Structure 1
């Protein structure tokens, strides 16, 4: 704290308390009042807005908002999360509604309700300063519900009051719109012979914690919000009591207090872009324009109490590229080097996972839900370089088949096949290149529909000038980013017409992606492999087995890894998939035992078993149980084969069937479908 090291429990506690007392207790004694004339030059609340805000609060409104709070959200200091209220609604519901309605109608909130615990999460691996912890507020559920009711009404009013150059807080406005405008804005930066221009990136210091509440109140009043609504909002933000959660216990009890345009922006009158508390301001690059811009920001700062993150060193001059909203802004095409940290993040994750000896199924889940998601934010803003996308594929492929970030081990199945849908024989992974195009297609569609947002207005002012977008071709002086959008349009033209986009109620990245993938024939075994009742780790082995892609000894012998192609269980014949699972005496006994246990009399290889079971007259649940049993049998036979090689031992058929019975029944009891007939339920219980 302020350069002084604290290493005792009391010292650490005091350091955090002092920091947050200073932060939450900041005031602005010399604050400039909000200029009424400036505010009222823009949109203000009209009668229909006031009717929405002043409408009587209802029990249905309260219940709907409370039930919309996820049950897993951390509870506040009273310990009651929303799951408690939902589960006990038949007991406490009427009293909860009455209490919330009373507070909303009276405009007063009990202090016990408006008590918040601040828990701290480190921003860095080894934090050494209190500012390196991210505060997370844990509010009481009743308070959350009150604020959700107020926000629900504000949500209907704000789109008319917030200007388009603020990219946050309004449904339908996206963070990428600001990035796209700024990316195009810097096109001529760094070149000789262009008009001088200025762009400033300003990060506001903990905007919510340091804003002066009197400024908020003045703004609401000058925007002509109803007095009762203003009073309720001020109750929510000015009356909370904060405690810090340190090492599992609460500490303290804190009371909160309170030109000329840029040469390319004149067409749409753009002076600044905001997303929440991230601010870009731009002007002509002459002294007078920059001076007026800084004076305007100083007035805003003095009025609101909001300051720049670094306020002592002044503005620093920097070069392109610079980071804005998490991505690089550059005047030249984004390079592989600028995207390197995306690949580094993947490698870092894999290094953590590599020591855990994960199964194929676990690795499949991590690739699909984590690794292929790390670059998604960038992929919805830029067409990523091919080299980056290829590196992402290489890393995902290596991790899936070897468990490491880098591997020369050959893949069992081609990556194109892996990226197919599960019903066409793949794992449902995303093809990163086609997914990138589908993401960028959203902006092609937005231009076709002539949506009303700051980026569309920018493009129309600078490039299209009310021309035909579908036939438009970019000129040689267009920015690299705009050329990417135009190139995406040309690729999508092979699959869509202009009318297709015009008739889309909502642009769906998934539907466009599926169109780019094209139609592929459906496999007949997908219901068996991806059956919900299957044990998860059995699914991947079954997926390989039905395609004859397991590394059996006959395959290993062909590529020189194994000296013998004989079956590792019986040793009587070459270990092909057909022999291993259906001709080996051990496997035959397992399959016969499974049929006797389930009560099915089906014979043949794995393909025939699946097809005949699907055509049988058994119930849907009966088929699912059968598929789960066959999947377990395939897994256990493969495990037995590996055990015979590594441990030189083979479990008996009765022991394997005992394991199979336990695996299948334990799994089904956990995920038993709700709509199972009494007859099926009794049949399963008696297995």
Structure 2
């Protein structure tokens, strides 16, 4: 390990980069100054910030006030009632965070070579989905009645981050070869901390920390991984122990455990020939806890990271009842049941059923129920579906092939929310979901097609795994994905499928969007997409225009089977159609006459699609006209629609004035400098008036 990059002098650029990498919305420390404050005032505060940070790296000492943190108790569940039900999150001062981030930035790049491949959390170029795939593969045959002995231990570490022994951490850092100065920087950061507790917004107490790593400190995740490396290496030493027997399928890759932060899974054979059962005589009987359990006990005694037996579970197959009871006695763990949750994903021995995806469905329904009381437009609901609900689904889609029944259920929840504002209230949709999930360029709302996105994300996972040939579980995972991923069914052969995947990763990074485009159903392009979704329009206005262009607005003509008569209640015309509402009424024609005069064209507008097509193709010479054409011409469509409903009892002249007044609110002042001639300027003044 090279010492120079870790202990090189800290520059002003390093400090500024660390500060500006802190999110503006991150909680400020005890003194209330957020990172946003320092960013906005960098020209003033920058020199002092740099001087304070450099002082630490030169002297090796940190001011007590800078390393003071506020502990905020975040409930782990809605029914939290005990101290154990709360998670302490430390709100550190920004200056301390800058120091911590500089150390963390230097530490992170070397972890990939330093940390055991079985550890994936917070290590560059490693992903949690590798652990999930590996565990799923090892569980595949656990439901068989006749199978070789095997045992999996799901370990829960008691108050993981809060229990780390500082002396142990110092010894591990030194033992791994970190420079002494770098170790002292780290120990100064974690061992000089003081705390106050925030209760109902008020600070209480002032006390010094004695152990543990602060959740909220940028350095803590990397230090926790380094602590677990001690356990990884002790478990790794078992591979050369002749008394240790690997879990089936694990010997080829020397796999004894999987770790993602404090989520720890251990693997063993679990037969009477295995010391885990401790069915031994004489000297061997002294290790009655078993080799793996001895490693765990030793690790807990050294590090402070002890096991919670009540929250740890055993999963066994091919083992007699007597042997299973003996293993339970040795470990103190209870027997677990499938499926169980690992890294937020349910895993089971047999293939997951639709019922076992209930946590995903419940999560989506929970979000929708929380929004049900809010007054949201359809455009607002669209954004929530796109950014939140489909974001929740994406994590699952990237890990598991989602069954059709689950996709249909989540789609149903989203559809009900879009059109009815509630997950459980079924309201007839104005537009079919197969059209909604199309891109905006094809007349949809840009929602993802779940099946195609599922295939695209699984293909990305395949490429990520097969490109890392030194991965601990590469051989097993490649076999799993090659057999099960539907991409191979579509392409017809493994070789062709891999060639296709490499095309999507020609630049060295996998192009998920190109893969998604390959799988998703295609539709014809439409000409009015950019017009309807122009950034100058409010989203709710764009949504109304989109419905109008798709001829899905609920005019009386559309509701003829549900109401008595379809005549226009405003003017008495025989049919209240979409084009009548927007273009044919005398009052509306007067509005459009003035608008066309403002915009400088004379073409007759009689149908919404024809008007949109013509406006899209029209090329005006003056840039201001082009901008205002979208900014004024399109808002007129929905303003006319809304005002007619509200002003039905008013005189036509009054309605016209209200509409024109509303349209004039769409200010064009930012574009005034674009008017080139005095005539254009006068035209602009008329609009402003």
Is TM more than 0.5 here?
yes
Are residue 542 (structure 1) and residue 495 (structure 2) matched? Answer: no
Cα distance, 1:128–1:492 mapped onto 2, change above 3 Å: farther
Corresponding residue SS for 2:372? helix
Are residue 377 (structure 1) and residue 395 (structure 2) matched? Answer: yes
Are residue 346 (structure 1) and residue 364 (structure 2) matched? Answer: yes
Corresponding residue SS for 1:553? coil
Equivalent in the alignment of 2:344 = 326
Cα distance, 1:309–1:459 mapped onto 2, change above 3 Å: same
Equivalent in the alignment of 2:292 = 293
1:514-560 superposed Cα distances (whole Å, 9 cap, x missing partner): 22226544322122211111122211000111121111111211xx1
Are residue 265 (structure 1) and residue 218 (structure 2) matched? Answer: no
Kept in 1, the 8 Å contact 2:133–2:477? The answer is no
Kept in 1, the 8 Å contact 2:620–2:626? The answer is no
Corresponding residue SS for 2:144? coil
Are residue 420 (structure 1) and residue 438 (structure 2) matched? Answer: yes
**What is the rounded CA distance, in whole Å, between the counterparts of 1:119 and 1:448 in structure 2?**
42
Cα distance, 1:383–1:397 mapped onto 2, change above 3 Å: same
Kept in 2, the 8 Å contact 1:444–1:489? The answer is no
Corresponding residue SS for 2:65? coil
1:625-670 superposed Cα distances (whole Å, 9 cap, x missing partner): 322323322222222344368x8998611122222322x23xx78x
Kept in 1, the 8 Å contact 2:109–2:124? The answer is no
- The worse-fitting range, judged by mean Cα deviation, of 204-213 and 504-513 is 504-513
1:399-424 superposed Cα distances (whole Å, 9 cap, x missing partner): 21222224543322221221111122
Kept in 2, the 8 Å contact 1:552–1:576? The answer is yes
TM-score by length of 2: 0.83
Cα distance, 1:520–1:305 mapped onto 2, change above 3 Å: same
Cα distance, 1:309–1:491 mapped onto 2, change above 3 Å: farther
Kept in 2, the 8 Å contact 1:109–1:236? The answer is yes
**What is the rounded CA distance, in whole Å, between the counterparts of 2:545 and 2:569 in structure 1?**
19
Are residue 277 (structure 1) and residue 276 (structure 2) matched? Answer: no
Equivalent in the alignment of 2:586 = 585
The equivalences for 1:662-681 within 5 A come to 662=665, 664-665=666-667, 677=674
Corresponding residue SS for 1:250? strand
Give the gaps of 5 or more residues in structure 2: 212-243, 277-289, 313-331
The equivalences for 1:120-139 within 5 A come to 120-139=73-92
Kept in 1, the 8 Å contact 2:257–2:264? The answer is yes
Kept in 2, the 8 Å contact 1:528–1:624? The answer is no
1:584-617 superposed Cα distances (whole Å, 9 cap, x missing partner): 1122122223334555555423334434444232
The equivalences for 1:474-493 within 5 A come to 483-485=483-485, 487-491=486-490
Corresponding residue SS for 1:273? strand
**What is the rounded CA distance, in whole Å, between the counterparts of 1:676 and 1:263 in structure 2?**
75
Are residue 567 (structure 1) and residue 568 (structure 2) matched? Answer: yes
Match of 2:516 among 513, 516, 523: 513
**What is the rounded CA distance, in whole Å, between the counterparts of 1:121 and 1:306 in structure 2?**
22
**What is the rounded CA distance, in whole Å, between the counterparts of 1:224 and 1:105 in structure 2?**
21
Cα distance, 1:594–1:206 mapped onto 2, change above 3 Å: farther
The equivalences for 1:385-534 within 5 A come to 385-446=403-464, 448-459=466-477, 463=479, 483-485=483-485, 487-491=486-490, 497=500, 499-501=502-504, 503-517=506-520, 520-534=523-537
- The worse-fitting range, judged by mean Cα deviation, of 497-506 and 322-331 is 497-506
Kept in 2, the 8 Å contact 1:197–1:286? The answer is yes
1:142-193 superposed Cα distances (whole Å, 9 cap, x missing partner): 1111111111111121111001100111122111111110111111213222
The equivalences for 1:354-365 within 5 A come to 354-365=372-383
Tell me the CA shift for residue 322 of structure 1. 1.6
Match of 1:636 among 632, 635, 639: 639
Are residue 201 (structure 1) and residue 202 (structure 2) matched? Answer: no
Corresponding residue SS for 1:136? strand
**What is the rounded CA distance, in whole Å, between the counterparts of 1:126 and 1:98 in structure 2?**
46
**CA RMSD in angstroms, aligned pairs only:** 2.7
**What is the rounded CA distance, in whole Å, between the counterparts of 2:264 and 2:623 in structure 1?**
57
Are residue 232 (structure 1) and residue 185 (structure 2) matched? Answer: yes
**What is the rounded CA distance, in whole Å, between the counterparts of 2:598 and 2:71 in structure 1?**
56
Cα distance, 1:124–1:450 mapped onto 2, change above 3 Å: closer
Kept in 1, the 8 Å contact 2:118–2:258? The answer is yes
Tell me the CA shift for residue 134 of structure 1. 2.7
Give the gaps of 5 or more residues in structure 1: 1-45, 464-478
Are residue 594 (structure 1) and residue 595 (structure 2) matched? Answer: yes
Tell me the CA shift for residue 564 of structure 1. 1.4
Equivalent in the alignment of 1:3 = none
Cα distance, 1:648–1:379 mapped onto 2, change above 3 Å: farther
Corresponding residue SS for 2:104? helix
